[in-house]
Chains A and B, each alone.
Chain A
Amino acid sequence: MIRVDGLHKSFGSVRAVRGISFEAPDGRVTGLLGPNGAGKSTTLRILYTVMKPDAGSASIDGHDVVKSSLDARRCTGTLPHGAGLYPHLTARENIAYFASLCGIERSNIEERVENIVDLLEIKDFADRRTKGFSQGQRTKVALARALVHDPQNVILDEPSNGLDVMATRSLRELILKLKDAGRCVLFSSHVMQEVAALCDDIVIIADGRVAIDDTAEGIREQTGCDDLEDAFVAAIHRVSPE
């Protein structure tokens, strides 16, 4: 479970995140929705500990992302935006490398990799070097890599970017599988439909602030819009009227 409390982060004079709070509970899919530059990626980067917040705090399964970042990372699987693979290694080697870095026992690595290869249905190209992989294949391998240590929490930054219909579909199935297994899934997107189709909870972010944090149903009610896209626009206008 992921808890975010009053995060602030600035880059020079740009205030990317100004007071974001929300919770992503276990067994649910939480969507971080917002226009480009709203502060989604920065929030997630703070969560997977490659950045430190200027103010506020965040924790994953009770581990503070600043004070005990190693523990926080240990129980999190991360797919950063535009995650890249090592082109001279095969898909399987890419996954095994991360498994080994995560501290999985050497004797168990092969089995773990095998399981995740099955789960993500990447057997067909698992033994090929990843150079020249399609965007869909690459995302799947990057996901497998992120999930190989069986993390309780999963953070995905715009995972469906550049994926075709079939790949998006299998990604959606995977996210639902994780949810059914009781995992906490937090993912960001700027596509309304995708979030609506998948998420139990939706956190709409605009201008570095939370515009609305509710279920899809709740958002429709709060904004008085039947159509989620209208609701999205209405919610954003609340924080940044222009």
Chain B
Amino acid sequence: MIRTIFTVFSKEVLDNFRDRRTLASALLMGPLFGPLLFAFVINLSIERSLSDVEKTLELPVLGVEYAPTLIDYLKSRNLKIIAAPEDREAAVASVKSGLHDVVIIIPRGYGEQMANGIPAKVELVSDRANTAADRDARRVRNVLYAYNQELAAIRLSARGVSPLVLRPLNIDDIDVSTASGRSGILLGMMSYFFIFAMLMGGMYLAIDTTAGERERGSLEPLLALPVTRDRLILGKIIATCLFMALSLMLSLISFFFALKFMPLQELGMTPNFGPRVVVAAFFLLAPFILLGASVMTLVASFTKSYKEAQTWLSVVLLAPTLPILIVSLLTLRPRLEFMFVPSLSQHLLLIDMVKNEPVNVLHVVISVTSTLLLGGLLTWLCARLYRREGLLG
């Protein structure tokens, strides 16, 4: 019994390792695609959030000569004053056309109004419908508000009134998220990458077990051998599991290294993804391997050809995202009953680990056993279906 299963297993492994192209897609696509996409998204968001504070913003100002103090203040806030269009109409037109994101117009009467203590008019031209431009406009607006506050405080002090009069409320915004916690939100998507890589790793073999063998014409000779079909399919599913495990391992390792090169600290995130977590994540996700292998084999066994199987299996690739997506959209906290849902339970537990939060042992036990049980059940179903005549196509 064991020997037959091992014979099938080792043949499938050898066969798969020799097929360079499918091997590359199985073992490289998943592990590389995930971290690369992830690095791309993270870098993009870091660049966007950093640009607000660090980058010098070029600001066209019309009427620089009327407000030298204001101009000095703007310069001190990392704004570079550049030449503006010659008059008000031209300035408005330049923002409308998108030439400038924001323009400040200081009218001629500014100095006089300021000296007389009446609100001095300053115009800020921006296009609020243009979200990208609005970010810069908001920055300039905030600088103007700050200047406004500062002047008001100075004027009140000059009249012997405490500037605190202007602050009846003292709003203190307390953020309880830890640096690791914040990373959980972004890193939440990585659990799906692992499941994706896992499934990709075994997809070819899962198809080959039925549709592939049939299309090649090797299924009938195989079934005509003095071997029970249970052993054949077990050997094949175990080989599928091996490649899924390899793919999972590779993607965990590639994530481990990829995270080192991502400037996550700048986003205020310190993901807990050291070697220990990598190993723990492997064992946490491993029960999903059997389930994935049997689902893919099961789906492929109903298809008529290799092509058709690939089409259907790409749907299977997306299926594990559904529970993750629903829970993320509804922002639900981990609950006991979620641990019975494969892919979701792994996702929630992995997030807890990455967030460096205590992991509920009972949750882990339920996740592991329920996923394994379901995988075992589906494997049994695969074996049952492997016995039917319709398998020959």
Say if the beta carbon of B392 comes within 8 Å of chain A: yes
* B18 partner residues in chain A, CB cutoff 8 A: 88-89, 129
Interface hub of B18, B19, B226 (most chain A Cβ within 10 A): B226
B220 touches A89 (CB 8 A): no
Chain B nearest CB from A233 CB (Å) reads: 31
Say if the beta carbon of B41 comes within 8 Å of chain A: no
CB-contacts of B358-393 with A (<8 A)? 389, 392
B221 touches A78 (CB 8 A): yes
B389 touches A80 (CB 8 A): no
Bound-complex Cα distance A101 to B1 (A): 10
Question: How many A residues touch the partner, as a band?
Answer: 35 or more
* A241 partner residues in chain B, CB cutoff 8 A: none
Using an 8 Å CB-CB cutoff, how does the interface string of B220-241 with A read, 1 for contact, 0 for none? 1111111110000000000000
| Known contacts A50-B392, A97-B7, A84 near B226 by CB under 8 Å | no
A145 touches B221 (CB 8 A): yes
Q: Beyond the given A50-B223, A78-B221, A80-B220, please list 18 additional residue pairs across the A-B interface where CB-CB is below 8 A.
A: A45-B220, A48-B220, A48-B224, A49-B223, A49-B224, A50-B392, A51-B392, A70-B226, A70-B228, A79-B221, A83-B217, A83-B221, A84-B216, A86-B15, A89-B11, A89-B15, A97-B7, A101-B7
A-B contact count (CB 8 A): 79
* A142 partner residues in chain B, CB cutoff 8 A: 221
* A48 partner residues in chain B, CB cutoff 8 A: 220, 224
B19 touches A98 (CB 8 A): no
Report A's interface with B, CB cutoff 8 A. 45, 48-52, 70-71, 73-74, 76, 78-89, 93, 97-98, 100-103, 129, 142, 145-146, 149
* B4 partner residues in chain A, CB cutoff 8 A: 101, 103
| Known contacts A50-B392, A52-B389, A88-B18, A73 near B7 by CB under 8 Å | no
Say if the beta carbon of B115 comes within 8 Å of chain A: no
Question: Which chain B residue shows the least CB distance to A85?
Answer: B218
CB-contacts of B214-266 with A (<8 A)? 216-218, 220-228
A101 touches B221 (CB 8 A): no
Chosen A-B contacts, 13 in total, with CB atoms closer than 8 Å, are: A50-B389, A73-B224, A80-B217, A82-B217, A83-B217, A86-B218, A87-B216, A88-B19, A100-B7, A101-B4, A101-B226, A142-B221, A149-B226
Bound-complex Cα distance A104 to B228 (A): 16
* B221 partner residues in chain A, CB cutoff 8 A: 78-80, 83-84, 98, 142, 145-146
Say if the beta carbon of B118 comes within 8 Å of chain A: no
Say if the beta carbon of B174 comes within 8 Å of chain A: no
Bound-complex Cα distance A85 to B18 (A): 15
Say if the beta carbon of B8 comes within 8 Å of chain A: yes
* A100 partner residues in chain B, CB cutoff 8 A: 3, 7
Bound-complex Cα distance A35 to B11 (A): 38
Question: Which chain A residue shows the least CB distance to B391?
Answer: A50
B15 touches A102 (CB 8 A): no
Say if the beta carbon of B2 comes within 8 Å of chain A: no
Interface hub of A45, A50, A51, A76 (most chain B Cβ within 10 A): A50
